[in-house]
Amino acid sequence: MESTQANPGLLCSPEDSQRTLYPYVTGTSVVALKYKDGILMAADMGGSYGSTLRYKSVERMKPIGKHSLLGASGEISDFQELLKYLDELILYDNMWDDGNSLGPKEIHNYLTRVMYNRRNKFDPLWNSLVLGGVKKGQKYLGMVSMIGVNFEDNHVATGFGNHLARPILRDEWREDLSFEEGVKLLEKCMRVLLYRDRSAVNKLQIAKITEEGVTISQPYALRTFWGFSAFQNPTAGAEGSW
Could you give the strand order of the β-sheet that contains 204-210, starting from the edge strand earlier in sequence?
155-157, 30-35, 38-44, 204-210, 213-216
Stretch that binds other proteins, among 96-104, 121-129, 164-172, 204-212 (CB under 8 A): 96-104
210 φ, ψ (degrees, to nearest 5): -130, -175
Active site residue 52: no
Burial of residue 220 (CB within 10 Å: 0-12, 13-18, 19+) is exposed
- Closer Cβ to other proteins, 82 or 186, answer by number: 82
Under the phi-then-psi rule, with left for phi > 0, alpha for psi from -120 to 50, and beta for the rest, what region is 159?
Answer: left
One of 20, 55, 81, 110 touching other proteins (CB under 8 A): 110
Q: Cα torsion for 110, 111, 117, 118, to the nearest 10°?
A: 150
Please state, in angstroms and rounded to a whole number, the distance separating the CA atoms of residues 182 and 186.
Answer: 6
Q: Which residues pair with 26 in a beta bridge?
A: 48, 75
# of chain residues touching other proteins (CB under 8 A): 13
Q: Which is nearer to other proteins, 113 or 184 (CB)?
A: 113
Exposure on the CB side of residue 90, measured as CA atoms within 13 A: 18
Tell me, residue by residue from 47 to 86, as one string, x for binding to other proteins by CB under 8 A and - for no binding: ----------------------------------------
Beta carbon of residue 230, minimum distance to other proteins (angstroms, whole number): 51
Cα dihedral value 139, 143, 144, 150, nearest 10:
-80
- Name the phi and psi angles at 5, rounded to 5: -75, -35
Q: Does 131 bind other proteins (CB under 8 A)?
A: no
| Interface region with other proteins, contact rule CB under 8 A, candidates 75-83, 92-100, 124-132, 225-233 | 92-100
In the list 98, 171, 180, 239, the residue contacting other proteins (rule: CB under 8 A) is 98
Q: Which of 46, 103, 124, 159 binds other proteins (CB under 8 A)?
A: 103
Q: Among 18, 100, 229, 235, which residue sits at the site for other proteins (rule: CB under 8 A)? A: 100
Judged by CB under 8 A, the residue of 106, 134, 165, 187 near other proteins is 106
Q: Please state, in angstroms and as integers, the Cα–Cα distance from residue 145 to each residue in 71, 106, 115, 208, 230, following that order.
A: 12, 16, 7, 22, 39
Interaction pattern, residues 155-174, with other proteins; x per rule: CB under 8 A: --------------------
CB of 48 vs other proteins, minimal distance in Å: 33
Binding site for other proteins (CB under 8 A): 96, 98-103, 105-106, 108-110, 113
Q: Where in the sequence numbering do the catalytic residues fall?
A: 20
